[in-house]
Structure formats: structure tokens, C-alpha cells
Structure 1
């Protein structure tokens, strides 16, 4: 179109593109449930020393607290008595067998000694099992003093006891730890978009506290129900966090790449507002243009999806259309 007007128009053919729609939803950093560690006292006693405080980083095996327990002392005493009784019963049985072999002991005495050994073995096993059940799974015992240790590296989140305090309820955690080497980015998808998101979709998280840094991954899980408070569906993405930069409670944005069928896309500069409708100019032949009403879908940065009104291959005025609008 060789005219002053034509030289100001830029015309391009449109094509169908199968690019995903990038859905942006609010997100929050949360710790993984499997990486949260509750520390319990294995039995009642008194906290002798407490070696940590909230916010402190601990390594696997570090002593968190020491507990003096009368129950442990009693269990140790019972076990020692049972082992001594078993040793004595075994010696008496051997002696009875030796005397019986030379004819100086009745068989019933040997059988009685053997029965005593069996009883002593059962009692020794009982006290041994009892002692093993009292020993902490994440610690060591030295006499009646138990040392509770960290089961893994992590941060101390809460401490619910202090030195000198008695522990009477062993079902209440005395402290909690959390391993932040891997965290969740949890996004809230609006109710009207909930059916569009699924596990495995590419995603990218960013957080206000980390500036321009981006964390790429995939949607791991999608909640089966919506939150009754927010009317949003939670989606989770795993984020490696070896440097512990991300902390639970940080807020940001989760971008989810939602697959879309092939659709025509046009630059925003091609669109014109005509009363309540959105239009573009289509070149029907050289120098001849037709105003066409289009239905717009998702906004993808500089491009917009066209749901109806345009076909792939049609030539659209992408710059200077406003000049035709005034013509």
C-alpha cells in the first residue's frame, strides 16, 4: 500500500499458537510436614539442662536436652537384678546336673533347677525389653540421665520446657524442629480456575523477600477440596532450599503454565475499542480493510488470545490501526 497512510500501517498474518496460559496466583512458603520433627520425652522426669533456644540451627546428634528419670533408674535396677538372678539360676542348674550324674541328686531336683532357669530367662527378657522401650529413639541413656538429641539437621521452632521443669505428660512435645532444606511453595488458585490446574504442570515461584530470584519446578499436588475461608484451591510445588533462604510464612507469587489448545494470538496494539466491542482491522485485499469484532481470551503479556472473530492466516493491522479507525 504505497501511500502516506499505507506507509504508517504495519500488517502481519496471524497464526495459531499452542502456548500455555501463565496463571499467576498468590503463594506462601510452608515447611513440608514430613520435615517437621516433634521431640518428646520418652518417660517422665525432670529437665536437668536445656541446650537450645528457638531459631537456633542444630545438627543431627546435637544434644537438645537432658532428662533425669526415676523410671529409668528403676528399670536399670530391675534389669540388673534379673540378669543376676538368671546367672544364679544357670549355675544352680549346672550344679544339679553334675550331682545327678554321680547319683547324688534326684531327677526332680534337676527339673526344678531347669524350671528356675526358664523363669529367670523370661524375667530377664522382660526387664531388657522394658529398658529398651524406655530408651529414647533420638538420644542416649547414661544411668538415669537421658540425653535427647536432634534426629536431623534443622531449626528449633518452639521450646515448651525449661531447665528444672518436671515432665509428667509424655504425649506433649517439649520442642519442635524443622528441616528447611526443601520447602513447599503453596499457591491459592481461584475457584473459577480450579479445574484448569493439575499435577505435573510447569510452575515458577517468586517471593517478595528474594527479589528477582525465581524458583522453577512443577505442581506436585492439588488439594481435593477448596478452602472454606478463601474459596481457593491449594497447589503445592517443591522448592529446593539448601541455603535456607526461604522461610515459612514468606509471601510471593506462583506462576503456573496451564496448557491451552492452539489459538490465534494478536498483539495488544492491534486492538481497538469500538463502543462496547473489541475490533481489529483485517486486510481483505491489497489496500482494503475490514473492521472485525473479536472475542478476547487470556492476556499473555504483549499478546492476547483471540477466542473468535479471526482465523489463522488472515492479515491484521498490528500498528497504525487507529489511523484507519479515524479514516
Structure 2
């Protein structure tokens, strides 16, 4: 009988251990909750209404007892900030006040009461007056939700569910808890056999206390319901009044509130069909205008030295035509130096003889022994010898001055003090940054004089003027030259661009700015149509290049649609 009691006691202790560990497991794993949770309310928008005419569209939004009015142009979605807006409200006639964000505000205490409210807006802008009737529907606030506590039976089922799940996942924690319960049962059995009833009773009481203790604790972020018989009211957090968030609708369209459109600076254009010339994209690079640029080279080899200022011109330095940029001192070889010294000696000897003859003739000329003609001939001979002697000294000492051939900016400079410059090697390159060309390579025969534009890597556009095309192929392509009209100062020679040149072929389509076309999730080109004041719908299109700033929509879009031209990339990120 004692053995049966001990076995029963061990079984009971094991059950207690498992039951005590099950609630702990229920609160231990992450992201699991067995109580009733208050469901988060769906995002709500503030009460709003719209009205439009052929030129303007108006959106009225109620927020906390005030009425915000947004007035935009229909074609471009540009805000109208200089209008006079009057509102006929249930409280009487009021004049809207302009706000810093470009909207207009009207006190609307009547909007605090649920129901439908009729408001008539009279807008005066640019000398014309329009009327915009709207109906604002203010709904009643939803009642707070309350839920009863979870029964002990549901809590027990949840604990059993967690215990089974941990066993299936081979979690060692249930085995550890079972082993602990088994060891505690053996300990109680040994104490009972030794007739130590008091320690055994204390151990059983401790086990029971530990079994019920986990009920009082729950991990952070986990709930297990309320105790039986208790009534707990869970209040769902109310949605913020007037919450306006841009979001994508289930049908793929995008709801963008007017305040968000102002922040994103969304602009639109009404499409129109036209016949456009086809364009081709040509690779090109920026080159200097040959008439406004030049290179500085040495005609004779020699050693470079800086000009009188002592500093070589740096990159980006503006120079004037004829300005000395550097000096080249030609080297004198040993043989040449010997010949020059010999020649100088001969000239010095001839000069000495001629000087004595001139001096003698000068003394004899007054007495008539020597004619004046002989004296003048001797003096001329002496002057010629002196000039030849001075020229030899100049050849040995005077360096060659390297001067700027044109006005411009130093684009390349390789001058270093003491460097030996070879004849015909470029030392400086001078470029006029306001006169640049683009050299493009065309693989098709294009008619000269066609309209062309260029697109930089950052998307900026350059207007080009056709200058000419070569007759000789270069890498199986024909070089074409275009002059950049109004070249920006940050352009650099050698910079790569994409030239878009028009051809004689024509095609019908819709012209849109390049920034209007974005890539969808499937890689398809899409544009966003402004179908309602706060609604945009994506449209898949097929486009072809038109010029550096525009594309030609050849399919997927009809004329007369309002298409987003600015902010399309931001709209494409709304989820």
C-alpha cells in the first residue's frame, strides 16, 4: 500500500511539474498571445469633399473643428495661393484665411456634430469667380470595444497546445521540466520511507506553490487572459482625428491627400497628341571648339622654367592671349659651344681691327687724307660685327617664351620646373569654357542641320547646334560635330554625353517629360494619371526617346489625360 502511495505521489508530482512548466512555456516563446487582443483600427481619413470646375479643383478637409481648403489648378495641379475664398457654412458666411502651406482655413465648429453639412465656397481668382458646392459627412465616433476575460479552460487548452508544440519541435525544456518533476517525486518518496513527513509535506507545498506561481507572471508583450469571473475592458486606441496618410489601394491606385501632394510638389500636364520626328541616340563626348582653344608647345627642345612671376599657371587659371606661360632654355652641346666660342673669337678679332681702322679714319678725315665715305663704311662694318657678336650671346642666353595663343582657361598643364620639353610636345592646353563642342559617332546616315539635344549623366539637358559631319569613317561610324548653346560652366572636355538627334522619319504620339516615366515592379514603364483630386492611377505605356528631356508615348495612353510630370518617382514608392 505504501508503494502504491509512493507511486501515486510520484505521478502526481510529475503532473504538477508538467502543469507548472506549461504556462511558463506559453509565455516564453516570442510572438504568441493567448488572450483576447484589441484589434488595431484601420487607418481613417478625415471627413472630406471635393468639387471642381474646368480650371480649378477644390478639396475641403475637416480637422478638429477647422475646415482646411486646398485650391489647385486642374491642368497643372499647381496651388492657387492668391485667391479670395468665402464659405457659406451652417454657422453663416465666413472668409477663409490663407495659411503658410498655401491652403485656406475656416472655423467649423459645426463639424464637431455628426451628420451631413452643406457648404458653398465662392472663389475669386485671376479676375474670375467660381462656386464650389460640397457636402461634408461627419460620422459618429465608434463605441469603445470591451471583451470579457479568458476562461481558465481556454487558458488550459492554450497551455496544452504550447506543450505539444514544444514537444514536436524537440525543445529540451519540456524534458527538463519532466525530469525535474520525476526527481522531486523520488525525493518525496525517500522522505516518506524515512518517515520524514514534515520535510515531505514542505516539499509538496513548495511544488504546489511553484505550480501556481507562473499564473501570476507573463512575459513582456504576452497576455494570457483574465482570471475566471473577472471582467476586464480592453479599450482600443482610437484612430487619430483627421489622419491623412498616402497609401496604395487594393485596386493599385494611390490615395494621396492634398497636404502630401503639396509636400511632394506633385505637378501634372494634360497630354495632347502630335506628330513628332523620330530620334536616335548617339554616343558623344565634349571637345573644345577648335577656333577658341589652343595648345602651347615648344619649337625647340629645352629646359622649362616658370615666367617672371615664378609660378606656372595652374589648372583652371584664366589667361589672356600673348601672356607668357613658361620659358624654354635650349641646351647647348659641347661641340656647339666650341664652335660658338671659336666664332666669337673671330668676331672679337675683327671687331678690334675694325675699331682701330675707324679711329684712324676719324683722325685723318678732317685733314682730307681719308674721305668721309671711307669713314662711314668702316663705321657700318663695325656696327655689323657688333650685332653679330650680340646675336651669338643671345643664342646662348635667351630662352624661348611660351605664350598663350588664345584667351581661355588652362585645361591641361604638364609644366614642371627643370623638366626637359621636347619639340612638338604639348605643355599647356587652353580652352574657352563658353565655347564647347560635342563630337558624336553616328552609325546611320543622318541629314545635316537637324535638331539635336544632349543628355548628361545626371539627367540635365544641353541644346546643340549642328556644325558638320565627317566624310571618313571612324571605327565604322561617321563623326558629327555639334556646338553647345549656352554651355554651363561645369562642363569638362572629354565628358561623355548622350546625343539625341532628330531624323526625317515621323511618328504620332504623346510627348511627356522623361521624369514622368518610372519603372514598375515588373520592370514595365508606367506613368501616373491624376484621375481625381486625391487619386492617382498607374498606366503601363510604351515609350521611345524624343530628345534629352522628353519621351514619346506611342501606346498605352490617350490624349487629354492628366499625367504626373513631377513627383512620379515619389508616388511610385507609396505602399
Normalised to the residue count of structure 1, the TM-score between the two structures is: 0.51
Task: Specify whether residues 119 and 236 from structure 1 end up closer, same or farther in structure 2 by C-alpha distance, changes over 3 A only.
Answer: same
Q: Does 1:250 align with 2:495?
A: yes
Q: Does 1:197 align with 2:452?
A: no
Q: Residue 57 of structure 1 corresponds to which residue in structure 2?
A: 317
Which of 426, 438, 458 matches 1:185? Answer: 438
Q: Does 1:25 align with 2:25?
A: no
Q: Residue 162 of structure 1 corresponds to which residue in structure 2?
A: 416
> Within 2, Cα distance between the matches of 1:58 and 1:258?
40
Which of 199, 215, 218 matches 2:465? Answer: 218
What is the Cα-based RMSD across aligned positions, in Å?
A: 4.9
Higher-RCO chain (CA-CA 8 Å, sequence separation at least 6) = 1
Q: CA deviation at 1:97?
A: 7.3
Task: Specify whether residues 125 and 203 from structure 1 end up closer, same or farther in structure 2 by C-alpha distance, changes over 3 A only.
Answer: farther
> Within 1, Cα distance between the matches of 2:442 and 2:432?
25
Task: Specify whether residues 98 and 303 from structure 1 end up closer, same or farther in structure 2 by C-alpha distance, changes over 3 A only.
Answer: farther
1:68-87 CA-partner distances (Å, limit 9, x unpaired): 5676xx99xx99xx9xx99x
Task: Specify whether residues 233 and 70 from structure 1 end up closer, same or farther in structure 2 by C-alpha distance, changes over 3 A only.
Answer: closer
> Within 1, Cα distance between the matches of 2:277 and 2:423?
50
Q: Residue 553 of structure 2 corresponds to which residue in structure 1?
A: 302
Q: CA deviation at 1:123?
A: 4.7
1:1-50 CA-partner distances (Å, limit 9, x unpaired): xxxxxxxxxxxxx99x6x64433322211223451312327563464787
Q: CA deviation at 1:188?
A: 1.6
Which of 357, 361, 369 matches 1:104? Answer: 369
Higher strand share: 1
Q: Residue 109 of structure 2 corresponds to which residue in structure 1?
A: none
> Within 2, Cα distance between the matches of 1:184 and 1:102?
78
Q: CA deviation at 1:249?
A: 2.2
Question: Aligned ranges for residues 47-126 of structure 1 at < 5 Å?
Answer: 47=305, 51-52=311-312, 55-60=315-320, 64-66=325-327, 96=361, 99-100=364-365, 102-105=367-370, 107=371, 110-111=373-374, 113-123=375-385
Q: CA deviation at 1:96?
A: 3.6
Aligned length, in residue pairs: 231
Q: Residue 239 of structure 2 corresponds to which residue in structure 1?
A: none
Q: Residue 168 of structure 2 corresponds to which residue in structure 1?
A: none
SS in 1 for 2:425: coil
> Within 1, Cα distance between the matches of 2:485 and 2:496?
17
> Within 2, Cα distance between the matches of 1:110 and 1:162?
56
1:58–1:155 contact (8 Å) kept in structure 2: yes
1:267–1:303 contact (8 Å) kept in structure 2: yes
Task: Specify whether residues 44 and 120 from structure 1 end up closer, same or farther in structure 2 by C-alpha distance, changes over 3 A only.
Answer: farther
Q: Residue 90 of structure 2 corresponds to which residue in structure 1?
A: none
1:193-237 CA-partner distances (Å, limit 9, x unpaired): 22x332x3332222114x32x322321110112223xx2211011
> Within 2, Cα distance between the matches of 1:299 and 1:65?
49
> Within 2, Cα distance between the matches of 1:31 and 1:45?
29
1:246-299 CA-partner distances (Å, limit 9, x unpaired): 112222221223345xx7x5448xxxxxxxxxxxxxxxxxxxxxxxxxxxxx98
Q: CA deviation at 1:239?
A: 1.7
SS in 2 for 1:257: strand
> Within 1, Cα distance between the matches of 2:504 and 2:393?
59
> Within 2, Cα distance between the matches of 1:127 and 1:174?
33
Task: Specify whether residues 186 and 98 from structure 1 end up closer, same or farther in structure 2 by C-alpha distance, changes over 3 A only.
Answer: same
Q: Residue 213 of structure 2 corresponds to which residue in structure 1?
A: none
